[in-house]
Amino acid sequence: METGVSLGEAIQISLTEPLSRRTERVSIEEARGRVTAVPLISKVDDPGFDNSAMDGFAVRESDCEKDGARLEIVGTSQAGGASPPEIGVGQACRIMTGAALPSGADAIVMVEDTETDGEYVVINGPARAGFIRRKAENLSLGQEALPSGSLLSSASIALAGTMGHGEIEVITRPRIAILSTGDELIQPGQELSHGQIYESNSHALASLVESMGCEAVRHESANDTLGELRETLDSLSYCDAILTSGGVSMGEWDLVRKIMEEEGKLSFWRMRLRPGGPPLFGTWNGTPLFGLPGNPVSSLVVFHVLVASWISKSLGYHHETGPSLSQRVSVRLESDVSGAPGKLCLRRIRIRSEKGELLATTHTHQGSGNIHSMVAHNGLTLLPPDTDGKAGEIIDALWLR
Ligand code: AMP
Ligand code: MG
Please tell me the total count of domains within the chain: 4
Structural domain includes residue 320 = no
**Same domain flag for 150 and 263:** no
pLDDT of residue 353: 97
For residues 185 and 300, membership in a common domain is answered with yes
pLDDT of residue 148: 98
Q: Which residues constitute the domain of residue 388?
A: 326-400
Residue 251: predicted pLDDT = 86
Output the pLDDT for position 17.
98
Would you say 28 and 43 are in contact if contact means Cβ atoms under 8 Å apart?
Answer: no
Q: What's residue 96's pLDDT?
A: 98
Q: Are residues 193 and 153 in the same domain?
A: no
Contact 323, 36 (CB under 8 A): no
User: Do 89 and 206 reside in the same domain of the chain?
Assistant: no
CA of 372 to the centre of ligand 1 (A): 15
223 lines ligand 1 (CB under 6 A): no
- CA separation, residue 298 to residues 5, 52, 159, 351, 374 (Å): 16, 56, 38, 20, 10
Rounded CA-CA distance 91/69 in Å is: 10
What's the rounded Cα separation, in Å, for the pair 18 and 135?
A: 44
Residues 211, 127 share a domain: no
**pLDDT the model gives residue 366:** 84
**Residue 203 within any structural domain of the chain:** yes
- What pLDDT is stored for residue 352 in this prediction? 97
Reported as a pLDDT band with limits 50, 70 and 90, residue 292 is very high
CB-CB contact of 99 with 78 (8 Å): yes
CA 301 to ligand 2 center in whole angstroms: 18
Residues of the chain above pLDDT 90, percent:
97
As a whole number, mean pLDDT of residues 204-222 equals: 98
Quick one: which of 98, 95, 99 has its CA closest to 111? 95
Atom of ligand 1 nearest to the CA of 200: 20
Instruction: Check pLDDT > 90 for residue 304.
Output: yes
pLDDT at 252 (0 to 100): 86
Looking at the fold, whether 310 and 355 belong to one and the same domain comes out as no
Q: Is the CB of 295 under 6 A from ligand 1?
A: yes
- For 336-393, the pLDDT digits (tens) are 999 999 999 999 999 999 999 999 999 878 889 999 999 999 999 999 999 999 999 9
- Please check whether residue 321 lies inside any domain of the structure: no
Give strand ranges (E) for 225-340. 241-245, 265-271, 273-274, 280-284, 287-292, 326-333
Q: Are 208 and 305 in contact (CB under 8 A)?
A: no
CA distance 369 to 300: 11
Statement to judge: residues 277 and 191 lie in one domain: yes
Mean pLDDT, residues 149-175: 98
Nearest ligand to the CA of 251 is 1
Residue 88 lies in a domain: yes
**104 located within any domain:** yes
Is the shortest distance between the CB of 185 and ligand 1 below 6 Å?
A: yes
Mean pLDDT of 328-332: 98
Q: What pLDDT does residue 65 have?
A: 94
Ligand nearest to the CA of 278: 1
The stretch 248-273 carries a mean pLDDT of: 95
Residue bearing the CA closest to ligand 1, atom 3:
246
- Asked if residue 176 and residue 306 are part of one domain, the reply reads yes
pLDDT for the residue numbered 365: 80
Same domain, 189 and 226: yes
- Using CA positions, which residue lies closest to atom 23 of ligand 1? 294
Handedness of CA 16, 202, 215, 315 (dihedral sign): negative
> How far is Cα of residue 372 from the mean position of the Cα atoms in its chain?
24
CATH of the domain at 77: 2.170.190.11
- 3-59 residue pLDDT tens: 999 999 999 999 999 999 999 999 999 999 999 999 999 999 999 999 999 999 999
How far is the centre of ligand 1, averaged over its atoms, from the C-alpha of 383 (Å)? 25
* Domain end residue (candidates: 125, 156, 171): 171
Same domain, 187 and 290: yes
User: Which ligand gives the minimal distance to the CA of 299?
Assistant: 1
- Tell me, in angstroms, the distance from the centre of ligand 1 to residue 182's CA: 7
Which of 179, 192, 196, 201 is the best mutation target for the ligand 1 pocket, counting ligand atoms within 8 Å of the beta carbon and taking the most? 201
Indicate which residue's Cα is closest to atom 7 of ligand 1: 295
Residue 250: its pLDDT value, please? 87
pLDDT value of residue 202: 98
- Residue 186 pLDDT exceeds 80: yes
Cβ of 199 closer than 6 Å to ligand 1, yes or no, is yes
- Supply the CATH number for residue 167's domain: 3.90.105.10
- Mean residue pLDDT of the chain comes to 97
Q: For residue 273, list its beta bridge partners.
A: 344
Distance (Å) from CA 363 to ligand 1 centroid: 23
Ligand nearest to the CA of 297: 1
Q: What is the pTM of this model?
A: 0.94
Same domain, 151 and 38: yes
- The whole-number pLDDT of residue 49 equals 97
Query: 229: pLDDT confidence band, cut at 50, 70 and 90?
Result: very high
CB 74 within 8 A of CB 87: yes
Tell me the CATH number at 362.
2.40.340.10
**pLDDT value for 253:** 86
- Ligand 1 atom at minimum distance from 224 CA: 3
